[in-house]
Amino acid sequence: MTSLFSPLTLRGTTFRNRLWVAPLCQYSVEKRDGVPTDWHLVHLGSFALGGAGLVMTEATSVSPEGRISPQDTGLWNDDQRDAWARVVSFIRSQGAVAGIQLAHAGRKASTARQWDHHRGTWSPEDGGWEPVAPSAIAFDGYATPRALDASELAGIVADFVASALRALDSGFQLIEIHAAHGYLVHQFLSPLSNQRTDEYGGGLENRARLLLEIVAAIRAAVGTEVPLLVRFSATDWAEGGWDQEQTATVAGWARDAGADFFDISTGGLVSGVRIPLTPGYQVPFAEFVHKTADAPVSAVGLITEARQANDIIESGQADAVMMGREMMRDPHFAWRAAAELGVELGYYPPQYERARWSYEKRASVSAGAAKPAVPAPREPATEDSA
């Protein structure tokens, strides 16, 4: 058994392996009502069928105004809860853990999908809404947000808690708080977007206050058995911004408040930054947080090969690997990775048994047989595209 395919347990949940599906925004809600559709069932279900240990949803908003786009999923009402239950049931039936990423987009809300012929923020006249943020500072090319009053923040914490409880009612086994990629919680963490002068701005403790309140409130609401993750961008890639040292410090505080595990990505707060795109370019940030905060972490970012993923776990750089684009290219990547690493797994779906990757096929790949071409790296879209 390789490190990548060894089980991992967090609180009351055991993951069959450490090859996990990163949150992948789909912008595919048909009626703009936050209700997941058949697209989400097939998209997420295919990863569970393909052998992943954890299948995480896209960034799912805790309120209507917290959506990135009008086509985002949500979990602020019972219709959404019931639709998610169908998706979760299938994920779990295939042996994968079902996780949900709860989010609020803040100043990056009410925006167009990548393939829409529109750039920036949708106006209320066009079906959008007014975005909010810690400070009235716009993301490049987007509308200037309204700065949140301190009295409104308790409501945002309550929205996260209510969505977390609906997630459990839907059957989700894990909850992740989205504090990365330039969305609301990240906006509070970074001094580049948070210029408040009250108890939620200024020093690191104040900038981390909203996140820690969300963590503590969700932990109190969901009890002791549910794993609670936080996704961080470990750096803004910008001078004077959020960095790995602050990330490690706040991760330690979040662990004390009730978080169990940290999903480490980077970027998304500001545009125009230079990012050194090489295979596994974000893994050193995960390793830094892992060692500095003495906390379990996952790594993500241009991880595309089975051996590469296994080496990250085996070397102790991270406890799990999140994969996004490679999973979209091959939802059954886990089965291929197991064969390439010489691992015989006991949870191959019997319907696909006749198509099982054999050791003979693995040997032919190792000997240089043609493999699908992987697109060249490009500047990453940080809207949870991994």
Q: Which residues are catalytic?
A: 183
What per-residue confidence (pLDDT) applies to 119? 83
Burial status of residue 85 (CB atoms within 10 A of its CB: 0-12, 13-18, 19 or more): middle
What per-residue confidence (pLDDT) applies to 197? 97
What per-residue confidence (pLDDT) applies to 369? 47
What per-residue confidence (pLDDT) applies to 18? 98
DSSP letter, residue 129: -
What per-residue confidence (pLDDT) applies to 376? 52
CA 89 to CA 171: how far, in whole Å?
7
What per-residue confidence (pLDDT) applies to 114? 86
Domains of the chain, with CATH numbers?
A: 8-366 (3.20.20.70)
What per-residue confidence (pLDDT) applies to 1? 53
Q: Which helix (H) or strand (E) is 87 found in, with range? A: helix 78-93
What per-residue confidence (pLDDT) applies to 117? 82
Q: Phi-psi region for residue 258, left (φ > 0), alpha (ψ -120 to 50) or beta?
A: left
Q: Which helix (H) or strand (E) is 20 found in, with range? A: strand 19-21
Q: What is the pLDDT along the chain (386 residues), one digit of tens a residue?
A: 579 999 999 998 999 999 999 999 999 999 999 999 999 999 999 999 999 999 999 999 999 999 999 999 999 999 999 999 999 999 999 999 999 999 999 999 999 998 988 889 999 999 999 999 999 999 999 999 999 999 999 999 999 999 999 999 999 999 999 999 999 999 999 999 999 999 999 999 999 999 999 999 999 999 999 999 999 999 999 999 999 999 999 999 999 999 999 999 999 999 999 999 999 999 999 999 999 999 999 999 999 999 999 999 999 999 999 999 999 999 999 999 999 999 988 899 999 888 886 644 554 555 454 454 555 555 455 556 55
Fill in the amino acid letter for 159. D
